[in-house]
A and B are shown apart, each in its own frame.
Chain A
Amino acid sequence: MTLSSPMTNSLRTQPDTDGHFGQFGGRYVAETLMPLILDLEKEYRRAKTDPAFEEEFQYLLRQYVGRPNPLYFAKRLTEDLGGAKIYLKREELNHTGAHKINNCIGQILLAKRMGKTRIIAETGAGQHGVATATVAALFNIPCTIFMGALDVERQAPNVFRMKLLGAEVRAVESGTRTLKDAMNEALRDWVANVHDTFYIIGTVAGPHPYPELVRDFQSVIGKETREQIMQAEGRLPDMLVACVGGGSNAIGMFHPFLDDTDVEIVGVEAAGRGIELGDGHHAASIAGGAPGVLHGNKTFLLQDEDGQITDAHSISAGLDYPGIGPEHAWLHEIGRARYVSVTDDEALEAFQKLCRLEGIIPALESAHALAAIEKLAPQMGKDKIIVVNLSGRGDKDIFTVAKALGVEI
């Protein structure tokens, strides 16, 4: 599909009033939750036009999260790749070490506005759980984090962090005992506690208005990037690259650039051990999935011919989810963004390379975006510019990486 007159027909006005991004998105939830998410939408509309809300959000991003974070020119990485200039958006320098906190600040402010007295959240690797536990502590609201029992075992340091921050961590034993089951369990809890509980969803998925509001809170990434690249280069970049699990860091980076059709947009899915190996070996919903309905929205899902959800796999726990945010599904369908995939091994290589060349330990999630530019940057001229979203830092991943490299620590 070609994009005609983007300025008069903006791509930045999605979703429609029913929460659809083209055929994707929507509100596929149990009836018990419908009144609640309709309320949330109303409250979010009010908050969006309330200067006091925006002011408090900006204050906390500045003074608590440490924004704006730098857009850093990676000179040695650029030289190594021998093509386009590489800039890194340093989300990993945020408080709690990733982009997740941007969204959590926004949602806890909404929870407070709605008078909710209890917070729940799901987490995979634990990054969103830590960010949620952090804001819950800051606002003195009790908080329960649902985490797959398998992830609780794999991510012990983050479990301890959440507990230090005062959160209750509930290990989910159902299903495959990973992120999707944690989300199922969070939804079950929410249905039973609608009167007092606010569900802080960690990515641009779930029922409307979550994909929209999480995107809006994360869009600070792209807005800062625009200003910073104009300052550094006097023009917009030629390409944006970000990793995509649910896709919140990516959409936060992409959204402010959607109408700038000269800016190429590339999302990077996790190919795990290889997409060609089939179900259970990768987490690439667009490359290896099909449209379907799960967790409140319609999007690309890993599923079998009967619509049963199949297991995702990625070395990066944050990308280990069988779906993708509905706005990404739509951007893929209309051709505005391109989605590529990167294997565990490629991500591991890129992880180590950034450590050595730039003195930055990236999250394994972000290492997927770095691996993608290994192929993209050398094909572009030295006058071209790529911005990579360095969505998180890799301290949490050193055990996983050591194990993959056969090192005992």
Chain B
Amino acid sequence: MRASVGNMRGDLAGWAAALLLLLLLSGLWSAPAAAGPAGIFIERLGNEAINVLGNAALDQKEREGQLRRLLNDGFALNAIAQFTLGRYWRTASPEQQAEFRRLFEELVVKTYAARLSNYAGETLMVTDEKPDGETGSVVTTNIVRPSRPTVKIQWRVRPVGEGYKIVDVVAEGVSMALTQQSEFAAVIRARGGEVEGLLDDMREKVAAGKAP
């Protein structure tokens, strides 16, 4: 029991913090109340994705088409593609850049369509939103999985026009864009520094996914 006058302010601050915590926690269940515009954007995108994945009426192709639209809607694919090619972006010809951009999207769609096809009732909860860089935000979410541990995912978003675009996804401290960048660099190095070598490997991977 601390009741001295000197501690009053501290206690009030403590109560205010507890109250705020309570509000935040209740926000977890009543959803977007605690989230800012970027958090709402992520939440909406997540729910759309869940609708697509949970829709049993869609066949494989339709699902992939819808996922592709969501990816293009939600992600700054051009900026991400350019980032993942890193310093090789400048050494690539405009044709190679365009081809890379196309293959990159194909690979992302293929990868995530496969990943998300194992959808088993996961839900997404926005837990935090903080400023990131000059204009961006980083939105923290919990992916709650039935009977498996919760995964923490952070979405780095930037304002584009009226809305937002995702520029990176960070899962438990691991950045997808950075991982992709170092992998592409390794492939190019192994292929004697030629961007064309990476494009070959990417084409092969995309084609492997298309095979029946």
Do A and B interact?
no
Taking Cβ atoms with an 8 Å cutoff, the residues of B that contact A are: none
**Interface residues in chain A, defined as those with a beta carbon under 8 Å from any beta carbon in chain B:** none
